[in-house]
């Protein structure tokens, strides 16, 4: 019996069947469901780490200690985790260690479109790339074999279309892996120059061995349909598009994106008329083939940006049937802050006070879109704090800016920026939007929520105590729904010379689904002030604004901003 | 069979795709679904792809490749109209939800979407799925009403689709959903 399974769940299942005992991850679309699904399986340990780097370190520790382990993250998480990864390639692993990284071509929910395949090459870590759910499960198991055979961490790379698609998957039994023996070996596990110099020799030898070995792996395979006709090299989701768009083409399916099976592809190239590489994002495969003297085309047909599709590929090779119908020009429907979102009132206040806002990554990034249009900068997790400090230093303390960060993001990497601001005396104001969850990625627990990945009670990191321990003296705790209190705190904090932290508390409106009393409107003067909140429950009607009672969460923020008292408390 | 399901974050489009997946399994066919989680779920447009057949490669449907669009909201139907095959069918929940740019006045919600769609797509069906779901017992069953109507439009195996619904919803809501399914099934006349 086959199950229709999300690829991320299939990866979790693959890890389970491979005997993985320890998984550590930080949420990030489109990778989040791997940890969530793995945690539901029996007899395994799974956790949310406070950030992507810690997840890799935990998994590496578990592998060196002798247990098969996994770490999962989105592509930008790998930037954070790159430090342990590059040196883990030197130490090797003992038991198998697989790092799942999820790229997001088309940026469905990311701040950049980076191509993680380059990490595999520069870190000297092999990378497998499955095309669908069934393959993902199989590749995970293979990745553990490879990891142990070559004593190296192994990447499993997926893209959004693979991660978030479902396919039919056959379940198999778990094979228990008893804890391997850990033997102290400083020359292998203590990476200081003298040891690392010797390990680098091992790394290079391993690279060479892997480069040979991948040519023999069945997951790198040529599929001939019409010899001496068109030949396509591809992998991952693109393989599926190619099979659909060009059923008559010869296809070389790459399973190991690093090292690329160059000899096998060279052989393939001799059996086809013209060789094309079809890949999303950068010309990673194409450049490698060209560097090895294999003539091919790729990026001259397909650009560097966005996703490919069956249609795009078919059109480029001139085989698409049917005329193209142009899409209708219709108003966009961008994501918005939910009705009752506790972040809304804070941005309203920051707008009112005309402050520059160094934003961060989370639901509150939506404070950048109209009508709030409050956020000035958003770069990466934790950047709000460092950038606010930079603004202060550049303007010799004159800039009227604040940093705004979510609770999960603060623990991820905002706290180091705060320590810097205290230490280097910039007097920034940091607003922590504490909604007791990791909202953006779908409500995961974190160290300040009091619950672990499984939802069981866990020790709580208290944000206020943490800030105090970092040396913050000017600390304000406010209810995020209390607009007056937020305004007062922001005024005081920005007036203060020292580092100030405001913790705006209120749980995410989606966490509590019970129906709340809703606000009502009487004698609306049509002044438009409440419309500046960008609340999806408020809309313009024939006689002033109207409240959608199905959407209203009764947060009463609009009640407080209405200058005429026309909106009545829930 | 390529079914594109569109709607607004939070409308229950995911369950609809699960039911169709279950239907494929019951028929012993290959099936792939594709959806996007994360950012787009915060009240934005959501698109789910369902493909059923003997052997399915791409999990995503392409422009001009959908046999049917199942739209939970009118503007979203208009947005993806070009995904339909020339002889494709369109099933729309007769409801309008204003996107933020229309709420703030930065954009205008198109008028007469129904007429535009009917003129462009011969096999267009609008049903008041939300009202029908309420009649069945809960607005939450809107997606299942839509599936009932879809079953009729595509001449799917009625008993198997019904079974797929039963297998996909929590047992305590089974009766409600079966009722909703039948109301949807009977709501379209071909
Ligand atoms: C390095 C990195 N890891 C993971 C992510 C994915 N991600 C985006 S926002 C976010 C956390 C948001 O939580 P929080 O800061 O609490 O804000 P909320 O969304 O709850 O408002 C995460 C994990 C990312 N963008 N970058």
Give the residue extent of every domain in chain B: 2-187
Cβ contacts (< 8 Å) between B66 and chain A: which residues? none
User: H-type helices in A169-225, by residue range?
Assistant: 186-189, 193-213
Give per-residue pLDDT as tens, A38-60: 999 999 999 999 999 999 999 99
Residue B118, H or E segment: helix B113-120
User: H-type helices in A246-382, by residue range?
Assistant: 262-269, 284-291, 310-316, 343-352
Identify whether the C-beta of residue A291 lies closer than 8 Å to the C-beta of residue B69. no
Which atom in ligand 1 lies closest to the alpha carbon of residue A406?
A: 15
pLDDT of residue A324 exceeding 80, the answer is no
Q: What pLDDT does A514 receive? A: 84
**3-state secondary structure labels for all residues of A412-457:** HHHHHHHHHHHHCCCCCEEEEEECCCECCCCCECCCCCCECCCCCE
Q: What pLDDT does B39 receive? A: 59
Give per-residue pLDDT as tens, A9-41: 999 999 999 999 999 999 999 999 999 999 999
Contact A338 B103 (CB under 8 A): no
Contact B58 A327 (CB under 8 A): no
3-state secondary structure of A222: strand
Rounded to a whole number, what is the distance in Å from the CA of A170 to chain B's nearest CA? 13
pLDDT of residue A65 exceeding 80, the answer is yes
Give per-residue pLDDT as tens, A251-288: 999 999 999 999 999 999 999 999 999 999 999 999 99
Query: What number is the average pLDDT over the span B95-120?
Result: 93
Give per-residue pLDDT as tens, A88-128: 999 999 999 999 999 999 999 999 999 999 999 999 999 99
Cβ contacts (< 8 Å) between A2 and chain B: which residues? 25
Measured at the alpha carbon of residue A178, what is the angle toward residues A173 and A184, in degrees to the nearest 5? 145
pLDDT of residue A534 exceeding 80, the answer is yes
Q: What is the largest CA-CA distance in chain A?
A: 79
In this complex, is the C-beta atom of B100 within 8 Å of any C-beta atom belonging to chain A? yes
Q: What pLDDT does A550 receive? A: 87
More confident residue, A290 or B11: A290
Give per-residue pLDDT as tens, A197-228: 999 999 999 999 999 999 999 999 999 999 89
Crossing angle between the packed helical segments A75-91 and A193-213, to the nearest 10 degrees: 110
Helix, strand, coil percentages in chain A from 3-state DSSP, rounded to 5: 35, 20, 45
Cα–Cα dist A224/A250, whole Å: 5
Q: Which fold has domain B2-187?
A: Pyruvate-ferredoxin Oxidoreductase; domain 3 (3.40.920)
Cα-to-chain-centroid distance, residue B24 = 16
pTM: 0.97
In this complex, is the C-beta atom of B14 within 8 Å of any C-beta atom belonging to chain A? no
Crossing angle between the packed helical segments A52-65 and A75-91, to the nearest 10 degrees: 30
Nearest-CA residue for ligand 1 atom 9 is A362
List beta partners, residue A25: A48, A72
Alpha-carbon radius of gyration of chain B: 16
Identify whether the C-beta of residue A140 lies closer than 8 Å to the C-beta of residue A98. yes
Rounded to a whole number, what is the distance in Å from the CA of B187 to chain A's nearest CA? 25
Q: What pLDDT does A193 receive? A: 98
Cβ contacts (< 8 Å) between B100 and chain A: which residues? 333-334, 336, 369-370, 534, 536
Q: Which of B28, B59, B84, B96 to mutate to test the interface with A (most CBs of A within 10 A)?
A: B59
Query: What number is the average pLDDT over the span B71-97?
Result: 96
What is this model's ipTM?
0.95
Residue A331 neighbours by CB distance under 10 Å = 18
Q: What percent of chain A has pLDDT over 90?
A: 95
Q: What pLDDT does A320 receive? A: 78
Measured at the alpha carbon of residue A373, what is the angle toward residues A523 and A427, in degrees to the nearest 5? 115
According to DSSP, the β-strands at A275-277 and A231-234 are parallel
Give per-residue pLDDT as tens, B128-151: 999 999 999 999 999 999 999 999
**Structure confidence at residue A422 as a pLDDT band (50, 70, 90):** very high
Identify whether the C-beta of residue A152 lies closer than 8 Å to the C-beta of residue A125. yes
- What number of CA atoms fall less than 13 Å from residue A354's CA on the CB side? 1
Cα–Cα dist A402/A567, whole Å: 30
List beta partners, residue A547: A538
In this complex, is the C-beta atom of B115 within 8 Å of any C-beta atom belonging to chain A? no
Query: What number is the average pLDDT over the span A495-503?
Result: 97
Q: What percent of chain B has pLDDT over 90?
A: 88
Specify the DSSP class assigned to residue A510: T
Contact A2 B25 (CB under 8 A): yes
Measured at the alpha carbon of residue A194, what is the angle toward residues A193 and A197, in degrees to the nearest 5? 75
Q: What pLDDT does A569 receive? A: 93
Mean pLDDT of chain B: 94
Crossing angle between the packed helical segments B174-187 and B142-153, to the nearest 10 degrees: 40
Cα–Cα dist B106/B69, whole Å: 28
Domains observed in chain A: 2-216 (3.40.50.970), 221-316 (3.40.50.920), 343-505 (3.40.50.970), 520-568 (3.30.70.20)
Residue A46 neighbours by CB distance under 10 Å = 25
Query: What number is the average pLDDT over the span B72-85?
Result: 96
**A-chain residue closest to B107, CA distance:** A331
Give per-residue pLDDT as tens, B18-52: 999 999 999 999 999 998 776 556 788 999 999 99
Identify whether the C-beta of residue A516 lies closer than 8 Å to the C-beta of residue A554. yes
Residue A152 phi, psi (nearest 5)? -150, 145
| Ligand 1 neighbours by CB, cut-off 6 Å | A 26-28, 52, 74, 76-77, 80, 361-364, 381, 406-409, 433, 435, 437-441
C-alpha A493 to ligand 1 mean position (Å): 25
**B-chain residue closest to A341, CA distance:** B42
**Structure confidence at residue A495 as a pLDDT band (50, 70, 90):** very high
Q: Is the dihedral of CA A508, A510, A513, A515 positive or negative?
A: positive
Nearest-CA residue for ligand 1 atom 21 is A363
Q: What percent of chain A has pLDDT over 70?
A: 99
Q: What pLDDT does B11 receive? A: 83
Give per-residue pLDDT as tens, A442-462: 999 999 999 999 999 999 999
List beta partners, residue B21: none
Nearest-CA residue for ligand 1 atom 20 is A439
Residue B103 phi, psi (nearest 5)? -65, -40
pLDDT of residue B84 exceeding 70, the answer is yes
């Amino acid at each position: 019996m086959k199950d229709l399974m999300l690829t991320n769940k299939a990866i979790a299942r693959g890890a389970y069947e491979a005997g993985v005992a320890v998984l550590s991850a930080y949420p990030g679309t489109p990778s989040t469901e791997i940890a969530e699904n793995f945690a539901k399986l029996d007899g395994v340990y799974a956790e949310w780490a406070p950030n992507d780097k810690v997840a890799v370190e935990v998994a590496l520790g578990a592998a060196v200690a002798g247990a098969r382990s996994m770490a999962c993250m989105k592509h930008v998480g790998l930037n954070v985790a790159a430090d342990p990864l590059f040196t883990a390639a030197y130490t090797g692993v003992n038991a198998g260690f697989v790092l799942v990284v999820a790229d997001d071509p088309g940026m469905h929910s990311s701040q950049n479109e980076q191509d993680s395949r380059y990490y595999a090459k520069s870190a000297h870590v092999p990378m497998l790339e499955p095309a669908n759910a069934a393959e993902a499960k199989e590749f995970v198991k293979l990745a553990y074999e490879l990891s142990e055979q070559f004593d190296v961490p192994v990447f499993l790379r997926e893209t959004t279309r693979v991660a978030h698609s479902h396919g039919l998957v056959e379940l198999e039994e778990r094979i228990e892996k008893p804890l391997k023996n850990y033997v102290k070996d400083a020359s292998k596990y203590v990476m200081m120059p003298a040891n690392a110099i010797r390990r680098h020799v091992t790394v290079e030898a391993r690279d060479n061995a892997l480069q040979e070995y991948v040519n023999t792996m069945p997951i790198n395979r040529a599929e001939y349909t019409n010899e001496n006709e068109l030949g396509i090299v591809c992998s991952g989701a693109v393989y599926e598009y190619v099979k659909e768009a060009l059923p008559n083409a010869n296809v070389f399916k790459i399973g190991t994106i690093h090292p690329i099976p160059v000899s096998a592809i060279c052989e393939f190239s001799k059996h086809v008329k013209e060789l094309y590489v079809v890949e999303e994002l950068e010309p990673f495969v194409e450049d490698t083939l060209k560097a090895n003297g294999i003539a091919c085309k790729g990026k001259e047909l397909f650009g560097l940006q966005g996703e490919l599709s069956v249609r795009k590929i078919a059109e480029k090779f001139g085989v698409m049937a049917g005329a193209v119908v142009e899409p209708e020009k219709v108003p966009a429907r961008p994501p918005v802050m939910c009705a009752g979102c506790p972040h809304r009132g804070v941005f309203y206040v920051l707008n009112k006070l005309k402050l520059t806002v160094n934003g961060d990554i989370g639901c509150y990034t939506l404070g950048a879109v109209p009508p709030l249009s409050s956020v000035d900068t958003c770069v990466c997790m934790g950047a709000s704090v460092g950038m606010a400090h930079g603004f202060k230093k550049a303007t010799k303390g004159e800039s009227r800016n604040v940093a705004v960060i979510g609770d999960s993001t603060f623990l991820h990497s905002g706290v180091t920026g705060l320590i810097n601001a205290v230490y280097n005396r910039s007097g920034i104001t940091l607003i922590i939007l504490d909604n007791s969850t990791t909202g953006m990625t779908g409500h995961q627990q974190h160290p300040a929520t009091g619950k672990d990945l499984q939802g069981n009670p866990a020790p709580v990191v208290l944000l206020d105590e943490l800030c105090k321990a970092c040396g913050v003296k000017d600390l304000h705790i406010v209810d995020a729904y209390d607009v007056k209190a937020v305004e007062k705190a922001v005024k005081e904090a920005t007036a203060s010379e020292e580092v100030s932290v405001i913790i705006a508390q209120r749980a995410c409106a989606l966490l509590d689904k019970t129906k709340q009393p809703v606000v009502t409107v009487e004698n609306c003067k049509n002044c438009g002030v409440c419309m500046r909140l960008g609340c999806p429950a408020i809309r313009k009607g024939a006689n002033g604004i109207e409240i959608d009672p199905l959407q209203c969460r009764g947060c009463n923020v609009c009640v407080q901003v209405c200058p005429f008292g026309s909106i009545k408390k829930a | 069979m390529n079914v594109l399901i569109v709607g607004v974050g939070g409308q229950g489009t995911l369950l609809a795709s699960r039911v169709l997946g279950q239907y494929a399994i019951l028929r012993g066919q290959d099936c792939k679904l594709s959806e996007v989680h994360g950012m787009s779920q915060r009240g934005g447009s959501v698109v789910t792809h369902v493909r059923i057949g003997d052997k399915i490669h791409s999990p995503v449907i392409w422009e001009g490749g959908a046999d049917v669009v199942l739209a939970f909201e009118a503007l979203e139907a208009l947005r993806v109209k070009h995904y339909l095959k020339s002889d494709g069918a369109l099933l729309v929940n007769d409801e309008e939800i204003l996107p933020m740019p229309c709420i703030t006045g930065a954009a205008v919600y198109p008028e007469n979407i129904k007429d535009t769609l009917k003129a462009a797509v011969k096999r267009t069906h609008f049903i008041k799925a939300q009202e029908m779901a309420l009649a069945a017992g809960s607005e939450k069953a809107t997606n299942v009403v839509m599936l009932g109507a879809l079953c009729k439009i595509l001449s799917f195996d009625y008993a198997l689709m019904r079974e797929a619904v039963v297998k996909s919803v929590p047992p305590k809501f089974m009766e409600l959903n079966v009722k909703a399914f039948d109301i949807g099934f009977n709501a379209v006349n071909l």
